[in-house]
Structure 1
Amino acid sequence: MAGFGDPHLGTVDAAGLKLGIVGSRWHADLVDHMVERAQAAAKACGVDDVIVARVAGSVELPIVAQALAKRCDAVVALGVVIRGETAHFDYVNDSVTAGLTRVALDEQTPVAHGVLTVESLGQAKDRAGLEDSIEDKGWQSTVAVLDAVLAIRDLGK
């Protein structure tokens, strides 16, 4: 976390949009909370139509995000990947990032990368939107992706 540069997006007027949320089941205690915060952000932005899907791990997020992108105006992908002692961390993060980016571009649907890629469980807790967290990636990712949909729509005017 850089600790600076946050655009401080509170909410946007996204009434009438349909949002897909996909979360991994790894680190379910954190991701469950992030999904709840994403749903709360969607509601605060006026989104009533939300589809939530869950997958085993972060590597599965892009394929389900793509299915949601075909049905929704925007998608939020949420997960937690904590560095271990092997290169697996790097492979998972590269795959997830490339996959989510490809989905967004191929489907022309904004996809938020709300996957926490951290060095420790403590860092994940700091970003998961818990009561004592310093960041709330479920909320922030949701508002950011809804903002992107609105920006794209504004370009069409």
Structure 2
Amino acid sequence: MSGHGAPSIAFNSEEKAHTGSLRLAIVAASWHTEIMAGLVAGALRGASDAGIANPTLVRVPGSFELPVAVARLAAKFDAVVALGVVIRGGTPHFEYVCQAATMGLSEVSVRTGVPVGFGVLTCDTEEQGLARAGLPGSVEDKGHEAVTAALATAVTLAQLGV
């Protein structure tokens, strides 16, 4: 399972005081509603765990649309999280969407300097997505992990003064 060896990130009280003041946006695709519901719930739980009461939640049609929405939001937020799921089918569509989402989100983060949490599941099967969605019975909670990673990066950059 891909979660093996993942770091455990918990904000201490000093960091939580800082994260609670950060502006966080969560951009979520709409395809695969059950998996997305788990990812969004995990992301909102991650925000709450970090002391952020009301993150902005924006929905877009699919994972391909995530980079443009994240790019627009990066100008107004301290961290942005992208959530989506792409499940392999019988055509090259999977590779094109995965590559576009990954490259687009990476480019936004590097260009803007705003941490972008990558919560896009790229799975061979729906079962793999369900296992990572943070639902009851899931072995991973990628929505929570994406928020925590973006906020931890924002805190680190702030501590460095950059």
Normalising by the residue count of structure 1, what TM-score does the alignment of the two structures yield? Answer: 0.95
- % identical equivalent positions: 41
> Alignment RMSD, CA only?
1.3
Report the secondary structure of 1:81's partner residue: strand
| Equivalent residues in 2 for 1:1-157, closer than 5 Å | 1-11=1-11, 13=16, 14-156=19-161
Report the secondary structure of 1:93's partner residue: helix
Deviating above 3 A after TM superposition, structure 1's stretches of 4 or more consecutive aligned residues are none
- Segments of 5+ residues of structure 2 without an aligned counterpart are none
Query: Following the alignment from structure 2 to structure 1, what is the Cα–Cα distance between the partners of residues 40 and 70?
Result: 14
Report the secondary structure of 1:112's partner residue: strand
Deviation of 1:70 after TM superposition, in Å, equals 0.9
Query: Following the alignment from structure 1 to structure 2, what is the Cα–Cα distance between the partners of residues 66 and 32?
Result: 23
The amino acid across from 1:44 in the alignment is D
Deviation of 1:109 after TM superposition, in Å, equals 0.2
Query: Following the alignment from structure 1 to structure 2, what is the Cα–Cα distance between the partners of residues 50 and 2?
Result: 27
Q: CA offsets per residue over residues 101-152 of structure 1, 9 Å max, x none? A: 0110111100011000010000000000011000000101101110000111
**C-alpha contact 2:134 2:142 (8 A) present in aligned 1:** yes
- Segments of 5+ residues of structure 1 without an aligned counterpart are none
Q: CA offsets per residue over residues 18-61 of structure 1, 9 Å max, x none? A: 10000001012211221121111101101134111000010000
What is the number of residues matched between the two proteins?
157
Question: 1:71/1:133 Cα in 2 relative to 1: closer, same or farther (>3 Å)?
Answer: same
Query: Following the alignment from structure 1 to structure 2, what is the Cα–Cα distance between the partners of residues 7 and 141?
Result: 12
The amino acid across from 1:56 in the alignment is P
Deviates more, 1:20-29 or 1:41-50: 41-50
Query: Following the alignment from structure 1 to structure 2, what is the Cα–Cα distance between the partners of residues 40 and 134?
Result: 16
Deviates more, 1:9-18 or 1:43-52: 9-18
**C-alpha contact 1:73 1:109 (8 A) present in aligned 2:** yes
Query: Following the alignment from structure 1 to structure 2, what is the Cα–Cα distance between the partners of residues 126 and 152?
Result: 32
**C-alpha contact 1:59 1:92 (8 A) present in aligned 2:** yes
